[in-house]
A = this chain, B = another copy of it.
Amino acid sequence: MTIKLAIVEDTPALRKHIEELFTFFKDIRLVASYASGEAAIEGIRRLPPSKIPDVILMDIMLPNISGIETTITIKEMFPQIEIIMITVFEDEQKIFQSIQAGASGYLLKDDAPEKIVDAVRELVKGGAPMSRTVAKKMLDYTRGKMDSPLHDPTEKYSSVNFALSIRERELLNGLVQGGTYATLSKQHCISPLTVKTHIKNIYKKLHVHSRANAVRIALEKNLV
């Protein structure tokens, strides 16, 4: 089976370089190439199912919305797509944010080109391709020698401040408990349509499009 690959990279020279790199392989086929996060999101959404990439190589430093944010959105729309970050950043924050966002691999831009190809293959075999320093950081984190910057108590609450109002928190809690518009309406003595409006607002703030994801975020981030 051929691996369908997409690239999101704003630097034209590097994008072209990676595009050319993947013309040499039978098992990997480049199906799309984007210069920004928005272009990727919109472009992939419009792709026919047969062209939906299996793997995306994602730069972090993109114009307007970052590769990390793009990753969040794409993973929501297409949870089956695997994303490898490929970037100059090797600081812990970017690594961990990426992984939290759903990235399944993390390469550095100074890695050899063959490493990128191997990483794609490794990923579809169920692995988690990482640069040497990334693997080391992950092992240190696992050993408890280093806390994830995302798990620092002070940062945790400041970095996940979705600015939910009191009402929104109440209703999000209702979502987590499995409430429907109807039951939440009765419970809070408001119209079901009002419930729905609030939930729309919650989704917007959490950047999600479904109850399942809202519940997941709520529980993972201790919002309720």
Question: Residues on A close to B: CB < 8 A?
Answer: 49, 52, 75-76, 78-80, 96, 99-100, 102, 104, 122, 125-130, 132-133, 135-136, 138-139, 141-144, 148, 174-180, 183, 186-187, 208-216, 219-220
- Distance in angstroms between the alpha carbons of A216 and B223 in the assembled complex: 13
One complex includes copies of this chain to the number of 2
The prevalent SS among residues of A at the interface is helix
Most central of A99, A133, A141 by chain B CB within 10 Å: A99
Most central of A129, A143, A208, A214 by chain B CB within 10 Å: A143
Q: Is the CB of A142 within 8 A of B99?
A: yes
Distance (Å) between the CB of A22 and the closest chain B CB?
A: 22
7 tightest Cβ-Cβ pairs between the two chains A and B? A127-B132, A79-B177, A80-B187, A178-B213, A128-B139, A128-B135, A215-B215
